[in-house]
Amino acid sequence: MGLKCGIVGLPNVGKSTLFNALTSAENAESANFPFCTIDPNVGVVIVPDPRMKVLEELVKPQKSLPTVIEIMDIAGLVKGASKGEGLGNKFLANIREVDAIIHVVRCFDDPNIIHVAGQVDPEEDKSVIDMELQLKDLESVDKKLLKNTKMAKTGNAEAKKTVAALEKFKAHLESGENARSIDATEDELAEVADLMLLTGKPVIYLANVDEESIHTDNDLVKRMREIADSENAELIKVCASIEEQISSLDDEEEKEMFLDEYGLKESGLDLLIRASYKLLDLVTYFTAGEKEVRAWTIHKGWRAPQAAGVIHTDFEKGFIRAEVIHYADYVTYKSELACKEAGKLSVEGKEYVVEDGDVMHFRFNV
């Protein structure tokens, strides 16, 4: 399965700078004026996983393919975007395509970098984007509500059920709340699933700070952390200038030395990927053979046939069984044959729930 995250935020909060650093890309222009990014730039980020290197050393495959995250740098947003102001309609359409939102907020002061509102206030910046997304969601809810209200008046039971769910979401959005915070049943959520509500997307807040605030929260970060906690959301603190320097280093040892100099254990990219996996409840399993070692991303709780389906739909349709070795056993016994001889290779059926780190082979027939 392909994971896609969208970087959003007001103009000049550091989105494109962070995008370039996180993806080691240079195609996202970064400049000191609003709407520097007009069309969404897309970059592919390799998910760092030390288990891949271990499996490569044990299996010695012809090639290895890590799993990746697609990151989209989406055009800046201003007040009135829900009505088409600025690049609003384009921006809002792009958000519908992503699995999760990375919301960048500026948490540093610099008179040399213009802020679109004239002052640095991450709480206000966040509220602007929330409001525009809520207004767009209300537009979607109202359209469907109008159609189903007419049907409900004729006595249509399904339409009445839909109207009740839509009215609940409408009231929630009109109160200034995001759809992801609503207390709704599975049936109610199903009624709005086709709307792909923008405020229903899971979110990670990315606080862009200066070097002085990378270890100690400044007042702006403290306030944003309170907001994130109140929403049960993740907040990651990243310094775009440090990430830019890290992205310019090709050698892993140099990167580690650079991080040590700043007293950091991991880069902002690593923090972001871990947070994304946690937010979306994702895990990784591996396939390992002479031709390739490959990592695959799936949702936690998926059963073996679903996991097989990310390789090819035929694998899921014609699933017979899965041969499974837990990662720890593979490391202990050093090879598939040794694991088999030690009784550490299990044959699992359709009900097997895949665990993070499983090394798997699928048998299927179509």
Query: What 3 state SS string does the chain have?
Result: CCEEEEEECCCCCCHHHHHHHHHCCCCCCCCCCCCCCCCCEEEEEECCCHHHHHHHHHHCCCEEECCEEEEEECCCCCCCHHHCCCCHHHHHHHHCCCCEEEEEEECCCCCCCCCCCCCCCHHHHHHHHHHHHHHHHHHHHHHHHHHHHHHHCCCCHHHHHHHHHHHHHHHHHHCCCCHHHCCCCHHHHHHHHHHCCHHHCCEEEEEECCHHHCCCCCHHHHHHHHHHHHCCCEEEEECHHHHHHHHCCCCHHHHHHHHHHCCCCCCHHHHHHHHHHHHHCEEEEEEECCCEEEEEEEECCCEHHHHHHCCCHHHHHCEEEEEEECHHHHHHHCCHHHHHHCCCCEEECCCCECCCCCEEEEEECC
- Does 241 show up as a binding residue in the annotation? no
- For the beta carbon of residue 272, count every other beta carbon within 10 angstroms: 24
- Does 346 show up as a binding residue in the annotation? no
- Does 143 show up as a binding residue in the annotation? no
- Does 17 show up as a binding residue in the annotation? yes
- Does 13 show up as a binding residue in the annotation? yes
- Does 301 show up as a binding residue in the annotation? no
Annotated binding-site members? 12-17
Annotated binding-site members for ATP? 12-17
